[in-house]
Chain A
Amino acid sequence: MDMNAYLSMFIDESNDHLQALNENLLQLEGAPEDLSIVQSIFRSAHTLKGMSATMGYEDLASLTHEMENVLDLVRNSKLKMDSFIFDTLFKGLDALEAMVQDIVGGGTGKADVTAIVAVLQSIFKGDYKSNAVAAPVASAAAVAPAVNKPAAKGLLDEFQTSILQQSIESGHLAYHITVSINEDCVLKAARAYMVFDLLERTGEIVKSDPSVQDLEQEKFDRSFVVFTISKFAQDELQQQITSISEIETATVTLLDAESLQMLHVAEAPRAQEAAPAETKDESTTDSAKKEAANQIGSARSQTAASSAPAAVSRTIRVDIDRLDTLMNLFSEMLIDRVRLEQLASEIKRSDLTETVEHMARVSSDLQNIVLKLRMVPVDTVFNRFPRMIRDLAKSLDKKIDLVITGADTELDRTVIDEIGDPLVHLLRNSVDHGIETIDKRIAAGKPETGTIHLRAFHSGNNVFIEVEEDGNGINRDRVLQTAIKNGVVTEAQAKALSNDEIHMLIFAAGFSTADKISDISGRGVGLDVVRSKITSLGGNVSVESALGKGTKFSVQLPLTLSIISAMLIKLGSEKYAIPLSSIVETAIIKREQVLEVHGNKMIEFRNSVIPLISLSRVLESPDYDERDEVETEIVVIRKGDKWAAITVDEFIGQSEIVLKSLGKYLTNIEAVSGATILGDGQVALIIDPNALIK
């Protein structure tokens, strides 16, 4: 079987199942009595086992098998979950994840899992409490070097076993035959039929896997398994089968009473060696075995995708590069569209104008779709956090609930790829520095379990992600002390700082107030990295904190990094774009409305006094000065909750613009965040309103 074709499917699905296992185990930890969760965990583990056995990843399969055994006991209320079992299962999951990662990286997925397997087996046997963990290693080792048969096929039920048993006892020869057909064989069903024909002429077929019907309809891959009673000797039978054309190999194994017993008890032939070590409850194995049979069947029908149209999902996977190319091409078209609109308005021919308007509508629909194609729910980043928080809390001896809301909020793929690390930093920070230890919490009269809220939501052209905890808050004085000690601010500066400004100091480079360095955070790198990462994405991070009540980190991110809505303005002969997302409104003011406060120009706007910034002076405009004018157009912009008005010469209008970088040669231009190409082919600079508000 050509494994490569199925490998990516296997990897995707294993990752899904591992994620599901992780989530469900966490849920179960919260509600250990809920057997319905155990059921779904069991199903995921089961599917995973089936898939990895089919793909030939035996270590993966054997570990999953052991985990499944334990879960099976829990499912049947024969075992009660406790924290030891949870920890072992989580460890097992980690090992599984590591193996899948190895497979992703092109490895063989092999790993030494004997230790975990041994612990799982001791749990299974119920003797883990007496700490007799070391004993069953031998049987685990026996499972690992599994047989080289293509997959675990050929399971017998009670009835079939007894037929074989009786025929062996009456002196007939019973065989287990694995037949595989040439890869390029066109009529697999016909070849299978020829094998059956031969076997039926010389004896009797007890069971085949897949079933005869499936074989006739070619619903099998390249090999199948037959249990047969025959009068031929072993090598004679083998020779007869291989002499049928296009049969690649036929492995004929003679069955005796003992091996038959094993086949019956163990749920797959590869467990033959391990079987003597296992003395299982008959009824549990039976049900497990049947499910395994179903499972293997379904796993195989998934791999042989063409034969199962129902399993084909309605999504396709697309290379991200192609989406990027699509995006770039669309950007080019958008520039031409603006150009066309301009030409049409100059030419003033109604049918041309109509066509251009129609094209504009189509292209804005297209723009929505192109942008949506690149949108990914933040859940893809959030889903690993519950587990992380659990482990962190355990290692720090704290009790923490992570509450996630808005995981379906969508963000541009490019942003998603980058925000994982900063969020990990913020969450670790909350667990380590934010939430207090249980004793302290009780002493402060808080519930002993701390809560971390992780929220994501849309607002305008931005997505906000908040990390809020009910911990002890930021200690203003200690932050100041450290900041002064580390030379982040001078004492004189410190006096002038507001509370919010002091809280922002924790984002400064080389700042850490942790009294002791832990391996979770507190090395003084972290928050400044978080901030620089988020600013490089065009976002913003801020912090609110109340001592003793908790801290809230708020991360503001742009929805997309490629196309934005902007207001185009004129400054003399020059044109600039201001992102619409930071514009509050536009207005016209008269010269006498401008107030002077401490030499700074301010205006009264909506009942508050806000600074008036001269854009022409910030940008050193060569041919415009608003001081010559009696009436000036202003744009009111905001950064967080700070507002400011900037003076402009003239409004041109609103437009969708494509963000372009200024290139590597021009970096860090003050108050300019990038450039865009206008309809007339000219370059206009994009103003960074965040840089204008200090």
Chain B
Amino acid sequence: MGEELKVIVFGLAHEEYGIEVDKVRTIERLSPITRVPKTPSFIKGVINLRGIVVPVIDLRGRFGLGETEPTENSRIIVVAAGELEVGFIVDAANDVIDIDTDTIDSPPEIVGGIKAKYLRGIARLGDSRLLIMLNLSEVLNKNEIIQLEQLEV
């Protein structure tokens, strides 16, 4: 039996993902986003989070999953990793669950179109349910953003 881990479960393009609860600041409904010019397209802009300006990125865009129009269920999950504070737009945020760290396996090369390095692992929940654990520091890695920009040029 490994350690208990509390994770927030959110949906993104038919898959379920998890982020450790202690990394999550807050979960918000979509609010008006101010576009920031000259940024990669997945950076949607900035929002006012109770007096603090927080950048928001579309996780679908970040993982190259094809962006869709936001729906009633769309949420912004504000995460904090190190000094960075960033909001993720996700399709839905539905649950908080406890998982056993032993059930987390290392991820295969590609999961649902996402490269393995963005993932921390895959947790099995019961028989048919899989939870993809995100590797936050890689998702927020800025060096890669710079590379992306160069590719676009």
Residue positions of A touching B, CB distance < 8 A: 331-332, 335, 574, 618-622, 660-666, 669-672, 675, 677, 681-685
Is B38 at the interface (CB under 8 A from chain A)?
Answer: yes
B95 contacts chain A at the CB level, 8 A cutoff: no
| Cβ 8 A contact of B37, one of A335, A664, A669, A684 | A669
Min Cβ gap B28→A in Å is 13
| Residues in B9-58 with C-beta less than 8 Å from chain A | 31-32, 34-39, 43, 45-48, 51-55
Whether the Cβ atoms of B140 and A661 lie closer than 8 Å is no
Instruction: Find out whether the CB atom of A677 lies under 8 angstroms from the CB atom of B85.
Output: no
Q: A666-B36, A685-B36 are in contact. List 10 more A-B contacts (CB 8 A).
A: A621-B37, A661-B53, A663-B46, A663-B55, A664-B85, A665-B142, A669-B38, A671-B37, A675-B46, A683-B46
- List CB contacts (< 8 Å) of B49-92 with chain A: 51-55, 83-86
User: What are 10 A-B pairs at a CB distance below 8 A?
Assistant: A622-B35, A665-B55, A665-B85, A665-B86, A665-B140, A669-B37, A670-B38, A677-B51, A677-B53, A683-B46
Q: How far is the CA of A533 from the CA of B41 in the complex (A)?
A: 32
Q: Are A681 and B86 in contact (CB under 8 A)?
A: no
Q: Mark B125-152, 1 if CB is under 8 A from A, else 0.
A: 0000000000000001010000000000
Contact between chains at B35 and A335 (CB < 8 Å): no
Q: Tell me which residues across on chain A come within 8 A of B39, comparing CB atoms.
A: 666, 669
Please report the C-alpha to C-alpha distance between residue A482 and residue B35 in the assembled complex, in whole angstroms. 44
Determine if B36 and A662 form an interchain contact, defined as CB atoms under 8 angstroms apart: yes
In the bound complex, do residue B47 and residue A683 qualify as a contact, i.e. CB atoms below 8 Å apart?
Answer: yes
CA of A675 to CA of B47, assembled, Å: 10
Contacting residue for B84 out of A621, A664, A685, CB 8 A: A664
What is the distance, in angstroms, from A49's C-beta to the closest C-beta of chain B? 49
Judge whether A662 and B35 touch: CB under 8 Å. no
Interface pair B53/A675, CB less than 8 Å apart: yes
Asked if A335 and B51 sit within 8 Å, CB to CB, the answer is yes
CA distance A670 to B36 in the complex (A): 10
- Chain A nearest CB: distance from B142 CB in Å? 7
- Ranked nearest first, the 3 interchain pairs of A and B with the lowest CB-CB distance are A683-B34, A619-B37, A660-B53
Tell me if B53 and A620 are in contact (CB < 8 A).
Answer: no
Contact B37 A672 (CB under 8 A): yes
Cβ–Cβ < 8 Å partners of A675 in chain B? 34, 46, 53
Cβ of A682: which chain B residues have Cβ within 8 Å of it?
Answer: 32, 34, 48
Q: How far is the CA of A102 from the CA of B53 in the complex (A)?
A: 42
Nearest B residue (CB) for A331: B51
Q: Are A672 and B84 in contact (CB under 8 A)?
A: no
Closest residue of chain A to B51 (Cβ to Cβ) is A332
**Docked complex Cα distance between A670 and B34 (Å):** 16
Which chain B positions have C-beta within 8 A of A669? 36-39
Whether the pair B36, A663 counts as a contact (CB closer than 8 A) is no
CB neighbours (8 Å) of B48 from chain A are 677, 681-683
Give every chain A residue within 8 A of B36 (Cβ-Cβ).
662, 666, 669, 672, 685
Judge whether B55 and A620 touch: CB under 8 Å: no
Minimum C-beta distance from B91 to chain A (A)? 22
A620 contacts B46, C-beta separation under 8 Å: no
A305 to chain B, nearest CB (A): 41
Taking the closest CB of chain A, its distance from the CB of B152, in whole angstroms, is 13
**Chain A min CB distance to B35 (Å):** 7
Instruction: State the Cβ distance, A588 to closest chain B Cβ, in Å.
Output: 25
Tell me the bound Cα distance from A359 to B52 in angstroms: 24
Which residues of B, 103-118, contact A by the 8 Å Cβ criterion? none
A332 to B52, CA, bound (A): 10
Nearest CB of chain A from residue B40's CB, rounded to whole Å: 11
Residue of A nearest to B31 (CB): A681
**CB contact between A683 and one of B43, B53, B86, B140 (< 8 Å): that residue:** B53
With both chains docked as a complex, state the minimum distance between the C-beta of B136 and any C-beta of chain A, in angstroms. Answer: 12
Docked-complex contact A663 and B35, CB < 8 angstroms: no
Q: Is the CB of B55 within 8 A of A670?
A: no
Q: What is the bound-complex CA distance between A683 and B87, given in angstroms?
A: 15
Asked if residues B47 and A620 are in contact (CB atoms below 8 Å), the reply is: no
Known: A665-B84, A666-B46. Is A660-B38 also a contact (CB below 8 A)? no
List, in ascending order, chain B residues with CB within 8 A of A619's CB.
Answer: 37-38
Given the contacts A670-B37, A675-B34, A663 and B51 also touching, CB distance less than 8 Å: no
Residue of A nearest to B145 (CB): A665
For A671, what are the chain B residues with a Cβ–Cβ distance below 8 Å? 37-38
Q: Give Cα distance in the complex from A666 to B37, angstroms.
A: 11
Distance, CA A671 to CA B86, complexed state (A): 22
When distances are taken between beta carbons in the complex, the residues of chain A under 8 Å from B83 are: 664
| A residues less than 8 Å from B51 (CB atoms) | 331-332, 335, 677
**Complex: how many Å from CA A453 to CA B2?**
70
Q: For the complex formed, measure the closest distance between the CB of B137 and the CB atoms of chain A, giving whole angstroms.
A: 12
Interface pair B52/A660, CB less than 8 Å apart = yes
Give the distance to chain A from B31, nearest Cβ to Cβ, in Å: 8
C-alpha gap A64/B39 in the complex (Å): 63
Q: A677-B48, A682-B48, A683-B47 are in contact. Are A663 and B38 (CB under 8 A)?
A: no
CB contacts (< 8 Å) of A621 on chain B: these are 37
A331, A661, A665: residue with the most chain B Cβ atoms closer than 10 Å: A665
Task: Report if A662-B37 is in contact (Cβ < 8 Å); known contacts: A675-B46, A681-B48, A683-B47.
Answer: no
A675 to B45, CA, bound (A): 11
Q: How far is the CA of A665 from the CA of B57 in the complex (A)?
A: 10
Residues of chain B within 8 A of A664, CB atoms compared: 83-85
A685 in contact with B43 (CB, 8 Å): no
Q: In the complex, which of the residues A622, A670, A683 has the most CB atoms of chain B within 10 Å of its own CB atom?
A: A683
Q: How far is B34's CA from A683's CA once the two chains are assembled, in angstroms? A: 6
Q: Which of B37, B39, B52, B142 has the most CB of A within 10 A?
A: B37
Q: Which residues of B contact A574 (CB under 8 A)?
A: 34-35
- Select which of A331, A332, A622, A662 is within 8 A of B53 by beta carbon: A662
In the complex, what residues of B have CB within 8 A of residue A618's CB? 37
Minimum CB–CB distance from A683 to chain B (whole Å) comes to 4
Assess A663 versus B37: contact at CB under 8 Å? Given A332-B51, A683-B47.
no
Q: Please measure, in the bound complex, the distance between the C-alpha atom of A661 and the C-alpha atom of B84, giving whole angstroms.
A: 12
Taking the nearest CB of chain A, how far is it from the CB of B100, in angstroms? 32
With a cutoff of 8 Å between Cβ atoms, the chain A residues found around residue B31 in the complex are 681
B46 adjacent to A662 (CB under 8 Å): yes
Which residues of chain A are within 8 angstroms of B53 by Cβ–Cβ distance? Answer: 660-663, 675, 677, 683
Task: Give the Cβ gap from A7 to chain B, nearest Cβ, in Å.
Answer: 36
Tell me the nearest residue of chain A to B50, going by C-beta: A332
**Nearest CB on A from B148, distance (A):** 14
With a cutoff of 8 Å between Cβ atoms, the chain B residues found around residue A335 in the complex are 51
Distance between A339 CB and nearest chain B CB, rounded to angstroms: 11
CB distance from A102 to the nearest CB of B (A): 35
Q: Please, how many angstroms separate the alpha-carbon atoms of A663 and B48 in the complex?
A: 12
Q: Which residues of A contact B140 (CB under 8 A)?
A: 665
Question: Which of A619, A666, A684 has its CB near the most chain B CB atoms (within 10 A)?
Answer: A666
Instruction: Give Cα distance in the complex from A231 to B24, angstroms.
Output: 83
Question: Which residues of chain A have C-beta atoms less than 8 A from B34's C-beta?
Answer: 574, 675, 682-685
Chain B residue with Cβ nearest A658: B51
Contacts of A662 in B (CB 8 A): 36, 46, 53, 55
Which residue of the partner chain B has the closest CB to A680?
B32
A584 to chain B, nearest CB (A): 24
CA gap between A574 and B34 in the complex, in Å:
8
Which residue in chain B gives the minimum CB-CB distance to A678?
Answer: B48
